[in-house]
Structure 1
Amino acid sequence: MIKKLLLICSFSLLLVSQGFGQLLVDEQDSKPLPEGVNLSSPYHTTLSFFFNLDPKNFKPNRAARTLDRRGVIGDPEELAVKLQQVLEGKGIIIRTSEIPNEPNYVDSASNAEHKYYFDKKRLPAIYLEKQGSQWKFSSFSVSQIAQLHSETYPLGTDKLLNLLPKMGTEQYLGLQLWQILGILILILMTFLAHLVFTFLVDRVLLYLMSRLGYGDIGKNYLLPIAKITSFYLIVLLLSLLIRVLHLPVEIWAWIVVVFNTLKPFLIMVIFYKIVDVIAAYFASLAAKTASTLDDQLVPLLRKTLKALVIIVGTLFILRDGLDLDIIPFLTGLSIGGVAIALAAQDTIKNFFGSIMIFIDKPFQVGDWVTSGEIDGTVEEVGFRSTRIRTFRNSLMYVPNGKIADAVVDNHGLRQYRRFTTTLTITYDTPPALIDQFVIGLREIIKTHPKTRKDLYHVYFNNLSSYSQDVMFYIFFEVPNIQEELQSRHEILIQIVKLAHTLGIRFAFPTQTLHMETFPEKKGLGQEQLDSQVYENLLQKFFKMELGKKVE
């Protein structure tokens, strides 16, 4: 028994020190290995396989006896070596303490079959299977060795497996000479690759973009993406080459985790940067439209896409890098999502309300809207609420779900803006002067550049208790309230000037005592003049104010 234990311990120390076989052996009782091969249990078959492929005791013909080669064409010794290289390249750690030493072992997860998987998650095609009284690598596993080997060592890197060890097998610091030289070569290749990618990105890419007239786009958007892409290509190249060094299992297992984490992380960063390019493109399209609602949609779209990229990227990092099963997490997330949805019905309603606002576009930023108690100018449209600045200068946050269900009067979408008022003139104004006043009002409308010329109403239409009333009803063709107010100002100024020129007095509620026969005093009644005089006064007004003659 002592001899057996010494044999196992010496074999274990040999494997750990060399880093071959990816095998960690614990002290267990085992039967003697006849001719170096024992197939009585998964434990003994695994031990026989790696023991006979150890460089100090290299007997691939014996290791090939652990393979079930029924129906498989190929050199059995070459298949055994390739299987070992696949396990090493994948970073599969095989701990003998976890391998069953039972001749009748049954895998409860595989329909109670006599099978043993080394790593069912990362390498489900490789497993031991009992044939009669012997445990061997299954015929299916043997048939997959060539394909797995080409996947593990693509692009001809498998040729380095036989070339590099010829550089020397002397040991320094726990590594063989060819492994140390391989690490130095990889460092040099990484430095050179970084220089090449930097030159291609910083010089060639920016030069081509500048020649095409997109220098700013290349510098601000494409250059960051290209740099991250170059880092990803370097990591991908290193992950392909470093596996041929067959580093010790403890080191290589951590290196695999690092590379498997870096690759999805860098891809996530690349897509995160691409979102900025997409957002910039849509921003340029939104700038060409008259609607300002598109300008609000672009930042929301950018934030949503970036959040989606981060969520999906994190899931891939957890799955590929940290080797976690994300299916239960997604299942729990979906169940939790239903509960959250039920608890946050108003939030979801507001979210879909914002979608309807962006689709239907009932208003845009800057529009004056009215809906019930809502009355103000739209400042911002978000995914949950809309900000409206009231005319009291207060800020109103209105849930989008409420706006989507409400009747909204959008004053900002008016093509014409109505302006109506009543011009009250005193009762002593003669009819001929009223006629000329009305003609002058109509001419003011015709000459103003922002009034609607095909629809307006200016008539002497009422006799009120204290005035003669002239209806003034027009439309302005202006895009916003500022220009409307400016146009009103201009029209009213022209009306006042016309009244002063013609001698029109505007009436207001008063009580007037008429002294028609007061000695040496004229009456308060307006002097009746000939209609030609009023017409001449009107022509004088337009000649001075508007520079044209009224027919």
Structure 2
Amino acid sequence: MILGIKRLLPFVLLMISFITPHNMKAQLLGSAKTTTEEPAKTPDDSLGRRTPQGTVNGFIKALADQNYLRASQYFVLSKRSYRKTAERIRIAKTFQQLLDQGGNLSPSSIISNKETGRIDDDLATGVDLVGNISSDKTTIPLYVENQSDDSQPPLWLFSAETIESIVSADIRGEKTFLDRVLPNVLKEKKLGNVPIGHWGVVVVMTIVSYLLSRLLIFVFVFLLQKLWKKADTEKGNAIIDAFTLPVQMYLTVILFVAFTQRMGISIVVRQRFSIIIITIGIVAFLILLWRMTDFVSMFTRSRMNRRGRISAVSAILFLSRTTKVAIVFIGIIAILGIIGVDVTAGLAALGIGGIALALGAQKTIENFVGSVSLIADQPLRVGDYCRVDDIKGTVESIGMRSTTLRTSARTIVTIPNGQLSASKIENFAHRDRFIFNPIFNFRMETTPDQMRYLLIELRSLLYSHPAVLNSPPVVRFTGITTDALKVEITAYIESINFETSQEVQEDLLLRMMDIIEKSGTALAYPSQTLYMARDTPFSAEKAAEVSETVKKWKENNELQLPKFDPKRVEELKGSVQYPEEGSYKPEEE
């Protein structure tokens, strides 16, 4: 029985293998679990040659360590040269000597730190210009080139063209200025694998460049004051002061770079100082922006004070401070980028924080933008009488957040500038004229000749009054209503302010009442109102006199209807005495 079971066991196992699911079979057979494949990362290069910046920095470090064999690994070499160690060392030393004599490498922060290199230049893709070597005999551009294709990690090396030019350069017997001048003791003793004499010359050249730049600036300012007439004015001195320090810093940097390159100071020292040089240049530019902001702010505020625009001064101060904060912020970002700090994450976080702050301070920003638009457009000024929507008042102050109006009830109304800039503003302070538009309703008993007399005399008054604008006034018989004859008058009073216009309007109305009384008619009262005691009786005598006057006008062709004779208009101009005789005249006192 047991023997039979042993014989059936292989058959049973075979059947189980056919009917068992694949995953169960894998577990029974102990197969490995399937895993998700992760993309392979680009392996780091031990010499840092994945980017142009890494290649240049690694090459300079190898020169500083005097490891010329490692320095040669940053070159594109032929197989023959690569096999010869002595040849590789000779090429690296020649490269260093050419750089010391008149070479220049771009500062590390300017060289691209991306694996693709620079793509915004005129060079081919995968080629970057990182410096040059200039001498009396030759000029060699220094190129780094990506030696890998798209399927392999990038590998940036000094190009074969550059290395061939260096190998073919004739430097026999050539020595730098420092090699000829410095004593052997200063060349043999080294600090950081650089002759100590080079460090000393760097210190001396820094002092010399600074003193020489001060001397040149002094001479330039002296000549400028002699040749420029406005140099001794407050504005001229402010401009000179704003430019003096930044220009001196730039000039010091330029002189230092020129001196150190011409004297043959080691490229290792100069490359280490390149970050400091660029930082000084950035600081000089920021100082120039800071001083120009002060200059513009000072003279703009002075100009606004002279014009009486006090509200603009606070806006100028705010904009000046905001600009200075932006200058400091941009300067910090630029300097951090120069020294190699990645500010991308910080800028992203700051951008998110700025959005959150802007959302939280939305009303404040709206009021600030509104105040800027009010100052720029100037729809109203301090002291102007205006109407904002349904509020009338005199502007007392225009601040950065709100504007205050004092109403006729002597109350103060505060309006946020954001709301004010979006409102309808009617400014009464800058009117060049004031409309005079009374409407007279005369009694139904008024005769046609009386109406003609009224039309001519009323218009004559407007022509002759010195305070009425010379544009032709309008006096028209516009209609007959159920209870009156309607005459509408439209003219403009020439006045400097509302109070004076009211005085002129008062004088015109009194004179018109005299004309109406003289014509023999009267103003009509509403038919539903009875004025039994005050009713002016109809004057037949005056009506006859007016009819006689109109008759003479007609006989002499002097009826000034529907238009006035221009000669008559010239005769009437200024013939009315205003103020009239007997009025108080303060100017006579």
Give, in whole Å, the separation in 2 of the partners of 1:456 and 1:292: 42
> Structure 1, residues 338-394: CA drift from partner, whole Å, max 9, x if none?
3223323334544565677689x5934366543434333557767755555545566
Match of residue 459 from structure 2: 442
Q: TM-score, normalised by structure 2?
A: 0.50
Q: Is 2:419 aligned against 1:402?
A: yes
d(CA) in 2 for partners of 1:370, 1:363: 11
CA contact (8 A) 1:89 1:246 kept: no
What amino acid is aligned across from residue 531 of structure 1 in structure 2?
E
Aligned match of 1:63: 68
Q: How many equivalent pairs are there?
A: 428
Query: Given that residues 403 and 416 in structure 2 are in contact (C-alpha distance below 8 angstroms), is that contact kept between their aligned partners in structure 1?
Result: yes
CA RMSD of aligned residues (A): 6.8
Tell me the CA shift for residue 219 of structure 1.
0.3
Structure 1 residues 336 and 531, CA gap change in structure 2 (3 angstroms): same
Structure 1 residues 207 and 403, CA, compared in 2 at 3 Å: closer, same or farther?
same
- Corresponding residue for residue 332 of structure 1: 349
Note if contact 1:437-1:498 (Cα within 8 Å) is conserved in structure 2.
Answer: no
Give the 3-state SS of the residue equivalent to 1:375 in structure 2.
strand
Residues 212-251 of structure 1, C-alpha deviations (whole Å, 9 max, x = no match): x7975960553234313322223423653579767999xx
How much does 1:314 deviate?
3.4
Contact 1:369/1:377 (<8 A) preserved: yes
Corresponding residue for residue 486 of structure 1:
500
Q: Distance in 2 between matches of 1:76 and 1:236?
A: 29
- 2-structure distance, mates of 1:440, 1:295: 54
Distance 1:87 1:453 in 2: 79
SS of 1:545 mapped into structure 2: coil
CA contact (8 A) 1:441 1:458 kept: no
How big is the shift at 1:268? 1.3
How far 1:267 moved relative to its partner?
A: 0.3
Q: Deviations over 1:261-313 (max 9, x none)?
A: 433222012133445777899999999xxx99999998777666555444323
Change (3 A) 1:490 1:239: same
Pairwise CA distance, 1:401: 3.8
CA distance in 2, matches of 1:379, 1:145: 74
* 8 Å contact kept, 2:393–2:407: yes
Alignment-mate amino acid for residue 545 of structure 1: Q
Which residue of the partner structure matches residue 27 of structure 1? none
The residue identity in structure 1 corresponding to 2:219 is F
Q: 94, 97, 104: which is aligned to 1:78? A: 94
TM-score, normalised via structure 1 length: 0.52
Mark the runs of 5 or more structure 2 residues left unpaired by the alignment.
Answer: 1-45, 48-56, 82-89, 116-129, 132-141, 145-154, 167-174, 551-570, 580-589
Secondary structure of the corresponding residue to residue 451 of structure 1: coil
Q: How many angstroms does 1:330 deviate by?
A: 0.7
The amino acid across from 1:490 in the alignment is: V
Q: Is 1:205 aligned to 2:224, yes or no?
A: yes
Q: Secondary structure at the match of 2:415?
A: strand
Amino acid at match of 2:210: T
Q: 184, 207, 211: which is aligned to 1:191?
A: 211
Identify if the C-alpha distance between structure 1 residues 442 and 405 changes in structure 2 by more than 3 Å, giving closer, same or farther. Answer: same
| Cα distance change, pair 303–436 in 1 and its aligned pair in 2 (3 A) | farther
Question: Which of 456, 460, 465 pairs up with 2:474?
Answer: 456
CA distance in 2 between partners of 1:87 and 1:540 (Å): 90
Taking the aligned partners of 1:142 and 1:80, their CA distance within structure 2 comes to: 16
Superposed, 1:12-161 pairs within 5 Å as: 63-64=68-69, 67-68=72-73, 69-71=75-77, 75-79=91-95, 140=157, 159=176
1:317 to 319, 335, 351: 335
Opposite residue 313 of structure 1, the aligned amino acid is G
- 1:408-419 matched pairs, under 5 angstroms: 408-409=425-426, 411=428, 417-419=434-436
Report the secondary structure of 1:448's partner residue: coil
* Partner AA of 1:233 in structure 2: Y
* Contact map agreement 1:64 1:80 (CA 8 A) in 2: no
1:341 partnered with 2:358: yes
Q: CA deviation at 1:191?
A: 1.8
- Check conservation: 2:249, 2:284, Cα contact below 8 A: yes
Contact 1:300–1:382 (8 Å) recurs in 2: no
- Equivalent residue letter for 1:315: I
1:545 aligns with 2:545: no
Secondary structure of 2:497's aligned partner: helix
Match of 2:249 among 232, 242, 245: 232
Paired letter, 2:217: F
